[in-house]
Structure formats: structure tokens, C-alpha cells
Structure 1
């Protein structure tokens, strides 16, 4: 019966494990010295050797003829462990056995001594999938296990494992396997299996594996039945990714803002049953390469992931685009990749993104007319500069009281009271002044900031506004500003009022207010322009 290559060529000793020298040497030294821990935690991305090393460790501590920290592979313990017949090594898949009852069964069985070996080993794969109750049940037995029991936990998502579990284990982090190590290993496997694997084919498999040996061997197995000669093109076809020519045609089309060409290439790839999600990932990878070439031309060759003959084409593309544009395109493609996972039609999503990329950089808000704001700033600066300043030793600066009134509408408002006979106690506080300011902000946001800290009172059909900002007094004299404030008051209070405003602040106090008002005015102007742009 045929056996998958990734199972057939799974390492059987620590010496067969590649790119994890630190971990394997540490484990071998512990076995040789007889100082193995009662619990281990192996973490890392898929296909880096976590479960493999767990099995080798379980064999080695029970092996009758251990050799330099490695299992001998010849004794009955090693043979039965490799065939899965050794009852002293128990593997548990936490993804499907994640309940508290499963861990209780484990805890109950742990009290029995091993049948043949020196230790009873529990290997819990994907341990992060255990429920909270299961973790709690596991905690006590892991803290004080019987002397003949050892635990080996493996996970790809260490952040999901409770700290109370992690702190009771010796942790080993498995790094992604280097592409050159993967290429070397699968070339050896291909030679032993009498497969015709070319150098560029091995490099392509190693690149697509993304640091996982199991993925690389599985892809080699898949390619072995698709082509007699396993080269880069056949690997691309088997993996459902775009070949190099298609990929660079698309990048050229994006750089030249040629949307029809990009869409034609996409249509051709779609008709060939290419995986558009993988194509998007390939574009992201190549744009990352271009970004690194632009950002670090001297060291880019060591950082990028590409075939040897791709480097010149990447450099040519890098010369056609600036770094900020490349980064913008990367962001757009990454967002597209996320949306494609949820999209009902991946082709539509991808084509929309291509058209966006070919349309050039995202539009930014331009042409905001700040002349009015700058004029007001200049007037304010002139007034502050010309204001009299107190000399040394003189009395503190006294506030200058400014007053203004406005009834901007064409229709005059008939006063209902004689303002000359009005006493201060006749003025009633306007409790809805905050609502008026909010309404005024919606109508005239550029000026609304000048009323910060103000309050108002009413008497008859007069409204008296007390402000802290002298700048408002100039704005109040502009008919459009006064008219918008009158409209805001009428909307909230339900009738028109004759407005009177006064201000009593010193020049120094006004200086402190000026910067905040100018800043708010600029922000309001920009927000308004953005809203118009989006509309």
C-alpha cells in the first residue's frame, strides 16, 4: 500500500531533524545526562518538527539501547513506538479530545505504571484547543505528576495556552525552516525516490512551503504524479499558482496603469483554473521584494524570496515605482486578501483591486482653500502685535471690553423690551446654549470653535453672548457668520433673537486661545473638504 512521502520520510532520530539544532542538541544532552523534565512545551508554525521531536523524545527516554541521545531504532521499544503499538506512548489530539472528561480519563490512567518502558509519555498535540475546564483538570497532574509520567505539549498558537500551564513546562520554540535547508532535504528525498527534481523546482517548492517541511514534502508528492520532470513550471501548475511570466505581466500592467492588460491576464489565469487567492499572495510577496529593493538595495538580495532569474526583473520594476507607491499597493493587496476570504466571488474582488491599483495612487484631499483662515490669522497677529503692553513695574494688564451686535436677516426684528431700561438681574441664563453651539458647529464648523467657553443669557427677544475669544468679535461682524448663528439659535429656541456679544480678555489670554482656535479651524476646514471629496 502506498504511503505518503511526508509520513514515509518523517525523521526518526534527532539527527534527521533539520534547522532546529538548538532544540535537538538540548534534548539530546538532557537524555544523555538523565535529567529530562517532567513536562515540555513545543511551539512553532506548522511543519517545523514539533510532533516529530515529541515522538523521538518519547522513544529516546524509553529506548533500551540509546545512542548519544538518539533512539536506536532497533529494539522492540523503538519498533513498536514507530508502528504505534507501544502503549506507554499515548498521543492525544486536543482538537478532537478537548473536553474536561478526556483529561480526567488521562489523569485516571496516569496512576498506572508503564508496561514496558521506563516512562509513560503523553503527547498532547494542538494543546491550545483544550477547553478551560480541560486545562484546569490538566494543571494539577502536570504540577505534581508521578515520577514515571512525562508530558509533551505541542501547539501552533502559544498565546492561547494559559500561563499556569506554560510555567510548568520547559519551552522550546521551533523556528521556520530555511528555504535552502528545505530545498536540500527534498532534493535528497527525490533522489531516494528516483524522482527527476530540478534545482529550480526544488527552490520553488521550498519557497511555497513557507518554512514548513511537511508542506514541502507534500507538494513534492503531489508534483511527482503531475509531471515526469519536476521543475518550477510544473510546481507552479501543481500548486495552482501563477507562473513567473503571468505574475510579472500583471506587475508590469500595474506599473504602467494598464488596467485592460491586467484584466486580460487575470481572465487567462482564471480560465486555467488558477487560484486567485494564491495569485494575490504571490503579488504581495513580489511587491514585498520590490519594497525591500527600494528600501535596502545593498542587502535586498539576502532578504527577498525569489528565483535567481527573477532578481533582475524585480530591479527593473523597482526602478519604475517609488517606495511610497509600492507600500500603498501592498496595503491594497493585503486588504484584498482579507476580503477574498469572505467574498462570494473572489474574481470580482480581485479584479476590483487590480483596477484600483492601475488607477494610480489613492486620491488625497488637495486644493483646500486656506486663504480665508490665513487672512484671519494675519489680522489676529496684527492686533496682538499692536496691542499696548504693560511696562515693567506697571499694574497688571487689564482686559479690554469689546461689544458687537448683529441682526443679519433682511427682515428687522422688533425689540420686545427697552434694552436701555434692562437690569442685569432681568437676564435669564440660556440653558440650551450647548445645543445651540452643536447646531452652529453643523452649520458653520470653521467659526464654531471661536465660541468655546462662551455662555449666553436671554431677556425678551434679546440674546446676550459672553465670549472669551476676541477673534470671534471680528467674525461676528461678517454677515454670513452672524446669519448662521441666528439660524442655529432659531432652530433650537424656536424664535429669532437680536444678538449681542461681548468679550473681556487680555492680550496674553488671547494669545493662549489663538493657537487652539486656529488649529480647530484648520481641522474643520479639512474635514469639510474630505466630506465633499467622499461625496
Structure 2
């Protein structure tokens, strides 16, 4: 039997928390687990704020319409990896009900404990090379050992290299039987479109503060821990849409407050600005009291508050005041930490135009603060700027009146000039002069050498192959180049070159002048493995170019296609039948 003893372990920087340590077989094991690990969803019904995703996945399991690859994208801490593991359990559980795993059978428990070899979770941030993906591709061919489906969960898939994506693309194009890939990412825009087009994508939404609050209330009630609702609302707002972040912050609050959750501890741990101090600062700047506002801001910074958090809280307060002025029902006063009387006082102290200016000013300073090591300087500048009289509000009436007066004077002057013109005697109409003809555009000059090289070796099969890859080639190009070539089409192809025709003269000239041809050639080499040159022609000139080339090389084509001596003349009908049924199965009778 293992021995038990208590040991103090530092957690969360300067905070300490006593943890229960068990000594088993000479090894120390920490029995305490973070809240986000203990309360990680084990069923779809436990997931917070992802109703659409959950319903779609459950229905696909119930109807047995699972696809071979999924992409879960969304902000951090919204349940992407948890949903992937629940999905892996549900499709392999023989006792699942309405798409939910039982979590009691051997398969479910093995997946929950990360002990099933058929469910492989990979971190692409540290396994992002070609060799790792090739290893997955090779092992995916083998059938699962215990489960019905082998599931690969690749987290942070956007970290894969270009070569790794190409290796993964081959597997997604021809997936082995009973293998499912689940790709998870916080940055889907970094994933190639060729990958996205071969997966079923689910977008996870941010967790609302109310949903995070309700989940934390449920957890603390289950643990029978007392809490202050205002403290939980501070934690929910500080999580910024991540349920995992909310539980991590709650864990820190519990550590600091010795299993008690109160408002002061929550404010200290999250670094949020005290609401009353923030209210005082707001009133001072809108009343143009720069010196008291600077003093209040100094108190906020002296308390150890983060400058970025201060600007975010201030921006949120300005937005809430603006909404309170326009539509009070849109503001959840309880979630803000202030009262209705507080908001009434703030709303009466300012006008919407002034709030618009404050929002613009705060956003501008936030952008500048990202690149400095002295945010306090920018905060002082921000305070002074917000405290200055708003020209857009206090002097707007005077500016408008001045502009109206100037415009009225100009109108009166124009009317007087019009009367003078009308009072003059009629003058004979001047002799019309011939309009100057617009200069003719210089004719488009084409380099026919690369076009003739392609035509000399062009085949119908090469053109068909390029047309099949055309959609994938467009996906490889950047959006600007994709839009440039979207209305073009390949008209001739050989093993070493492609001719692309443009219907629009302007787009043709843009393509010729830019690096589009080189990028398309690189894309074709990536898709086919062969080097090809890409040449552009106007679609209107293409028939003429092709006809001229055929006329110039007519003798060459006749010699190439002429039947050899003692060789029967080819019959198109016979050739077509032989192509369809095979030459050995055709008998020609001359009647």
C-alpha cells in the first residue's frame, strides 16, 4: 500500500497550493489535477456553446454518414480537441445511444485514458516534418487492432510544413478504409485550400461570458465551494471566449483565495481594473479633468494592473455606455460589475459623438502599445488626449454654421454670375472643330517562339491533363492571381509547356507584365512533378495563331501522318472501334 503525505508545491507564480502526493512504487504522483482537465467534456452534451457542431456530429454518427476527414477550427479553449476525442469514442463505442458514447466500455475508457493505440493524437507544432506525416501515411494502411475505426487527431495542423501538407494531401485523396483524420487548428487561413477542399469543416465559436459563468457555477456547486457571482463574472469576461482559459483563471483564484472565490481575489488574479476606479476615470476624462484623470490612472498602474488590460476594460466600458444610450436592453448590467445608476450617470455625462471619438483614440493607442516597452507613456498620452475638449462635439455646431455660411456665399456668387451671363446678347455659335481622334493603342506584340514550341509537341492528352488540374492550380495561387486568371483557360499543352488564352485584353496585359507565368509554372510542377513553361495569348488571336502555324508546317504534318508504303490507309471508323473494343477483337471485311 502506498504512503500518503502533504507537500507544498508552488503554483501560478507567487501563489502556493498544498497538493496531495501519493508515493507508489518509489515514484511521486500529484493527485491534484487542474479544473480544465478534471472537467473536460466526456460527452457531446457536456460541451459548452457549440450546439450546431454537436448536433451535426451526432446526426452523422446516428445515420452512419461519417466522412474520412474533418477540420475543427476556432479560437483556443473552445473544445476542438475534446470534440475530436468524443467523436472518436462515439464511432467506436458499441453501446452508444443517440450518438453519445457510453464512457463505460473498454474502448471508451481506453480512449479517455489515452491508452488506445487506434486513436492517435499528434501535436503538429513539434511533429511538422515530411517524415512524420509519411510515417502516419504508412501506418494508416494497417487495420485497427481493437477499435472499428483508426482515428488520427492532428492538433495545430497549420504548423505543418509545405512538404508535410503535400504528403498529407495524398492520404486525404486516397484514404484507407476505416481511417478517419480530424485536423484541429486555431488559424485555418494558413491551411492550403487543397487540404480544406478535401475535409468537412466545422467552425467552433467563442464561448460567451454567460455560458462560461453558468459552467463555472455548475462546477463549483458540484465541488461545494462557496463563490461570489461578481467574481465569476470577472473571470468569465477575462477568459475572452475560451472555456479552458476560464477554468484556468478560476483555478488561480481558488489557489490565491484558499478555495474561496471572491471579487477582490478575482480582480487581483485577472489583472482587471476595479470597476469603480474605471468609472471615476471615465467621468474625469469626459469632463476634461486631465490632472485628476492622470492621478487615477497612476493609482491603477501602481496597483500592478496591466496596461493592455486597462485599455481593453476602458474600451469595453465606452462601448457599454454607448449601447446603454441607444438601446438599454442590449447591455447586461449585471455582467459589467456596475449598477443601472452608474450607467445612467455615465450616459448623461457624455454624448454619442464623443464616445465615437474615444473609441477611435483608444484603438489607435492600443495599436501603438503593441510595439513598445513603455506602455505607461502611451497611457498618459491617451489620458491627456481623452481629456481634451472634443472638437467633434463641443465645437461641432460652430464649425457647421461656419461651413454653411461659406457654402451660402458661394451659392449667391454663382447665382449672380449666372444672371450676368443670361443678360448678355446672344453670340453666334462657334464653328465646330473636328474632334481630335484618340490615339490608337499600340498593337499587342506576341512572342510566337514559345507558342510554336508548345504547338510542335502538343497532344490532346496533355491538354486534358492540364484541364483536370486547373482547379487545383487556381487554389495554389494567391487570391489576386486567382482572380486574374479565373476567366482564362488552357488551349494547348505539351509535356514541356502550356498555352493559356485570355478573353479580356486588360487581364492579358496584366498577366504578361507580372510574375503570374512563373507562379503558374511552379504550381504545375508541384502538382505534376514536371517542369512546364506557361505562355499567354489573347483568346481573339488564338485561332489565327494556330491556323498560321498549321499552314507553315503543313508539309511536316503530311509527312508525319502519311501512311507508309504497303500500309493500308487508316479508316477513322475502324480506329475508333479499335480504341473502344481493342484491335484484337475487330475484323474488317471489305464488301
For structure 1, the residue ranges without an aligned partner over 5 or more in a row are 400-535
Q: Which residue of 1 aligns with 2:92?
A: 62
Give the alignment of 1:185-200 within 5 angstroms. 185-200=215-230
Match of 1:481?
none
Equivalence for 2:197: 167
**1:5 is matched with which residue?**
35
- 1:207-356 matched pairs, under 5 angstroms: 207-228=237-258, 229-294=260-325, 296-301=326-331, 306-307=335-336, 309-356=338-385
Question: Distance in 1 between the 2:278 and 2:341 partners?
Answer: 14
TM-score, normalised with respect to structure 2: 0.62
- Deviation at 1:181? 2.1
Alpha carbons 1:207, 1:305 under 8 Å: kept: no
Cα displacement (A) at 1:56: 0.6
Counterpart contact for 1:39–1:151, Cα < 8 Å: yes
How far off is 1:79 after superposition? 1.9
3-state SS, counterpart of residue 151 of structure 2: strand
| 1:110 corresponds to which of 123, 140, 143 | 140
Q: Is 2:72–2:183's contact at 8 Å kept on the other side of the alignment? A: yes
| Aligned mates of 1:387, 1:145 — CA distance in 2 | 87
- Counterparts of 1:338 and 1:266, CA distance in 2: 19
Q: Give 1:47-196 correspondences, 5 Å limit.
A: 47-196=77-226
SS of 1:215 mapped into structure 2: helix
Q: Does the 8 A contact of 1:11 with 1:17 survive in 2? A: yes
Paired with 1:307 and 1:328, the residues of 2 have a C-alpha distance of 22
CA contact (8 A) 2:92 2:147 kept: yes
8 A contact 1:100–1:137 mirrored in 2: yes
Residues 177 and 211 of structure 1 are in contact (CA less than 8 Å); yes or no, is this contact kept in structure 2?
Answer: yes
Equivalent residues of 1:89, 1:123 under 8 A apart: yes
Moved over 6 A (4+): 363-371
Following the alignment from structure 2 to structure 1, what is the Cα–Cα distance between the partners of residues 342 and 91? 53
- Answer yes or no: is the 8 Å Cα contact 2:283–2:349 preserved in 1: no
Contact 2:235-2:270 within 8 A present in 1 as well:
no
Contact 1:255 1:317 (8 Å CA) reproduced: no
Paired residue secondary structure (1:230):
coil
1:204 deviates by: 2.1
Q: 1:57 deviation in Å?
A: 0.6
Conserved 8 A contact 2:287-2:387:
yes
Any unmatched runs of 5+ in structure 2? 1-29, 433-591
Matched residue SS, 1:91: strand
Deviation of the 1:388 alpha carbon: 3.7
Once the two structures are superposed, residues 436-483 of structure 1 have per-residue CA deviations (whole angstroms, 9 ceiling, x without a partner) of xxxxxxxxxxxxxxxxxxxxxxxxxxxxxxxxxxxxxxxxxxxxxxxx
- Of the structure 1 ranges 227-236 and 277-286, higher mean CA displacement relative to structure 2 is found in 227-236
State the partner residue of 1:469.
none
* Cα deviation, residue 180, structure 1: 2.2
Q: Distance in 1 between matches of 2:138 and 2:177?
A: 15
Tell me if structure 1 keeps the 8 A contact 2:158–2:185.
yes
Instruction: Tell me how far 1:376 sits from its aligned partner.
Output: 7.4
1:45 aligns with 2:75: yes
Pair 170,67 (structure 1): closer, same or farther in 2 beyond 3 Å: same
- 1:36 and 1:219 map into 2 onto residues whose CA distance is 36
State whether residues 38 and 145 of structure 1, in contact with CA within 8 Å, keep that contact through their aligned partners in structure 2.
yes
SS of aligned partner of 1:396: coil
Tell me by how many angstroms 1:362 deviates: 5.2
Please say which of residues 373-382 and 252-261 is displaced more in the overlay. Answer: 373-382
SS of aligned partner of 2:184: strand
After TM superposition, list the pairs within 5 Å mapping 1:473-484 onto structure 2: none
1:239-286 CA distances to partner (integer Å, 9 max, x unpaired)? 011111111111111111111111111211222111111011000011
